[in-house]
Structure 1
């Protein structure tokens, strides 16, 4: 859900690198421990750089899981001073300042986030992201940006973030650098992709002039299409700001991450970004995003990820495939090559697959299958050949929209009858359903209900985003 911090990637006992004190600084921190907070904030402006960095490090330490201290730092005007230190030439100073800002920005107190934004914190973070090669600093920057990004609930807040000068450019620069170095499993990359996914959420509804792209009554009008096509041409060849979110090279970037990354959060975010970009009936998704994924050999990459052991990766990939299959050529290819993998993820009656997928993931898979078999008897035939009917009948109440679509193809009924199926198997049963489903979207079409990157157990292992100085 928007408005909350993301959950971290946990792999075994993985935790984010802690911001370590400089050699000899712990004694200084201890000596500062008895001083009042105003004095610590005043030390941020000390002419000696090690004093600055120690003061920032100590604020990071004090703000760890302490909302009162964060509020006090804000009220004592400490945030603008920390933001100013992001431009400091010494790495130990801007690193500690960024660590303090990351902890201050963590949590549900939006006043802290607003204070960082209001003193030009985002441009300062962007400048530092573009110039630093320090992986720890990049992680701190992107973690802070993430905390600020996920506080933006609503279309207007997302619009303001998309239009932050240089934000999307800097995120893409960081991702392209990581892909070029084949270093894609670090927290900095994860944070960048998660932010990109959130910025692309509902982009088909929220781009400037979006209503013109959605007006079905004007679709046959040359006066309607000419400015839109001109706009698309300009954005493709001279992209700027938020337009960078939906360029073909960004699609290729996501596909590289989906191919190379082993981080489940990064994989989910990249698949979710493709889901967002391919949602809707706007010119970008219908005109080239869905085709670009196909032409860049992205469909086999996504299909392979249906075999992932991660529930959230399977869910994000399934929904992305659903949106991509609105393109007729994609639908034919997905029906031919993805059907068995989709079916293999379905439970069989009371028996779930070895992955033990969650209910909303099963729903996502069923809705994807439904989209694939709608208006395609050949794909419905592939579904039958994948031995899916037994599973679908066993979870009847969950899968009835798929079953009824399959039964609607009269040319397939003889084959179904030979396998022992009749009309009664394709109707809703009165028995209790095996799965309690959160929601079923039985109407074919795209899915734009991507959750901005959150996980369900908010608050667990949150130390990846807010870190304590030890």
Structure 2
């Protein structure tokens, strides 16, 4: 189109219901342009009753009018929750999905999937979108983009359409446990997302923007997986005489216990061609996440990969033990996880630290972890400053990880001891601004002195008992041990 017509928004809205197609197109184009360039135009069109009229135009048989109406709605609902709800209240979702189901025009698909992406951030719309949009998006876009079948061999899906769709699904995967279950059970959804990510990694494109969306969906769908999909974790064998060491309540204060642990067996992790939910915890998927951690530069992708691994190691059950064993022993994952503990991105650092914290619960692997992780955690704690209050949770986890691994391997622990670390921990233990980290730092200081090998190392560096054993550390240690049932 050429220059924008010299009309008002009120006139543009009136044009939408005009009997002449050219007027409808003029009004929709003007609204599309104005709502893209001026945020205030969105509310004005909404107040003038433009939303139902635009929804009605999605039912037009004119392709250009369909596209323009979809684009105008896409602009209008962006960051406007009330307008999103208005689209739904005038049966807009049904109109959008009907058009998407029936069109093979790429530009129309782009606008409709972009519109659905914007709508999907409204929590109130997620249940309906999962009921009605999810099956359509999966069957008509996600699967054909990744798999050729007899039914879709001639169907071309544009990369932008797929990207918009994964953006929509990323938002939907943040819904409730019921909605997560619906997404997990959606035929070929998980398989398709995994296939896309694997393909991009093999092509050397780990920073592809759609990879980020896919991994974020997989991260969200792995949340509380064992609890929400227990039927997939029944083929589990526990060796005779083995305890569930992740269930060991004394693990924080007895980190050297259960040294000799037999491996649990979980055959589903090793199946040749996993499908559906089984893809979420298969060893190939763990390897894929670790490959991305070693190759991607996108912090959101890195955080999502760490988050997926964190979810899979989060429960205090044998399943988490098996996941941890695979990550550390079979896949050598610590080499790509450990550097992320240095991240300047608070979200990424917190997720990576939580993952390491989860894995440190497996006592038989603590000595291995200590060699790889302790130097990094020590550096992180040495660099703590009083203005890092927003990282309180990450710092507390770092203290607990150091505590566990240092007592598990005192020789390795002694190598990372220095005055800068101890000064930092002492500062932390008395800084009331750090709600959880100060207590964890105090417990760590107390425990250092309580371990003979560590204490000897501290004395050799000229450090005094009062730094480690004092009213602050004693109170914190007693509170921690009573909490653990000691």
Q: Which bin holds the TM-score, normalised by the shorter protein?
A: 0.7 to 0.9
SS of the residue corresponding to residue 338 of structure 1 reads helix
Match of 2:445 in 1: 403
1:413 positional shift: 2.5
Stretches (4+) displaced over 4 A: 25-28, 31-36, 209-216, 218-221, 347-352, 428-431, 439-444
Alignment partners' CA distance in 1, 2:469 and 2:104: 69
**Is the counterpart of residue 412 in structure 1 residue 447 in structure 2?**
no
**Equivalent-residue separation in structure 1 for 2:426 and 2:183 (angstroms):** 46
| Aligned counterpart, 1:101 | 116
Change (3 A) 1:413 1:213: farther
Contact 2:237 2:266 in 1 (8 A): no
CA distance in 1, matches of 2:375, 2:242: 39
Gaps of 5+ in 1: 1-24, 222-228, 434-438, 445-470
Shift of residue 272, structure 1, vs aligned partner: 1.5
1:270 is displaced (CA, Å) by 1.0
Residue 267 (str. 1) matches residue 302 (str. 2): yes
When residues 356 and 266 of structure 1 are mapped into structure 2, their CA distance, relative to the original with a 3 A threshold, is: farther
Per-residue CA deviation, residues 331-356 of structure 1 (Å, 9 max, x unaligned), is 2232113222211112568567xx99
1:235 positional shift: 7.2
Summarize the Cα distance change of 1:420–1:275 in structure 2 as closer, same or farther, 3 Å threshold.
same
* Aligned counterpart, 1:52: 66
* Segment drifting more, 391-400 vs 137-146: 391-400
Q: TM-score, normalised by structure 1?
A: 0.74
Q: Which residue of 1 aligns with 2:134?
A: 122
Q: For structure 2, which runs of at least 5 residues remain unmatched after alignment?
A: 1-24, 33-44, 146-156, 244-263, 431-437
In 2, Cα distance between the equivalents of 1:442 and 1:248?
38
Equivalent-residue separation in structure 2 for 1:280 and 1:396 (angstroms) = 29
Structure-2 separation of matches of 1:247 and 1:442: 38
The verdict on how the C-alpha distance between 1:313 and 1:348 changes in structure 2, with shifts beyond 3 A counting, is closer
The answer to whether the 8 A contact 2:215-2:305 is kept is yes
1:204 touches 1:282 (CA, 8 Å); kept in 2?
A: no
Shift of 1:363: 1.6
Structure 1 counterpart SS, 2:408: coil
Q: Secondary structure at the match of 2:60?
A: coil
Counterpart position of 2:225: 203
List per-residue Cα deviations over 1:11-61 (Å, max 9, x = no partner).
Answer: xxxxxxxxxxxxxx8875228988854442232232332222222112212
Report SS of the residue matched to 1:99.
helix
After TM superposition, the score normalised by the length of structure 2 is: 0.72
Query: Alpha carbons of 1:259 and 1:116: their partners in 2 closer, same or farther (altered >3 Å)?
Result: same
CA drift at 1:304: 1.9
CA distance in 1, matches of 2:92, 2:360: 51
RMSD: 3.6
Shift of 1:249: 0.9
Tell me if the contact between 2:382 and 2:420 (Cα under 8 Å) persists in the aligned partners: no
Decide which structure has the larger Cα Rg and report it.
2
Give SS of 1:273's match. Answer: helix
Q: Are residue 72 (structure 1) and residue 86 (structure 2) matched?
A: yes
Distance change (3 Å), C-alpha of 1:350 and 1:182: closer
Secondary structure, counterpart of 1:131 in structure 2: helix
CA–CA distance in structure 1, aligned partners of residues 278 and 480 of structure 2: 33
The corresponding residue for 1:450 is none
Kept in 2: contact 1:275–1:323 (CA 8 A)? yes
Q: Any conservation in 2 of the 1:56–1:100 contact (CA below 8 Å)?
A: yes
Aligned to 2:187: 165
Rate the CA distance shift 1:206–1:349 in 2: closer, same or farther, 3 A.
closer
**Equivalent residue runs for 1:248-287 within 5 Å:** 248-287=283-322
Once the two structures are superposed, residues 180-237 of structure 1 have per-residue CA deviations (whole angstroms, 9 ceiling, x without a partner) of 2222324322222222112112223333258979999x9879xxxxxxx897448734
Structure 1 counterpart of 2:336 = 301
Q: String of CA shifts for 1:298-318, please: whole Å, max 9, x gaps.
A: 211112222333222222212
Matches within 5 A, 1:353-368: 358-368=391-401
For residues 184 and 481 of structure 2, what CA distance do their matches in structure 1 show?
A: 30
**Separation (CA, whole Å) in 1 of partners of 2:26 and 2:166:** 26
306, 325, 339: which one pairs with 2:360? 325
Question: Per residue, is there more helix in 1 or in 2?
Answer: 2
User: How many angstroms apart in 2 are the aligned matches of 1:339 and 1:329?
Assistant: 16
Cα distance per residue 1:254-274 (max 9 Å; x no partner): 112111211111111111111
Tell me the matched-pair count: 400
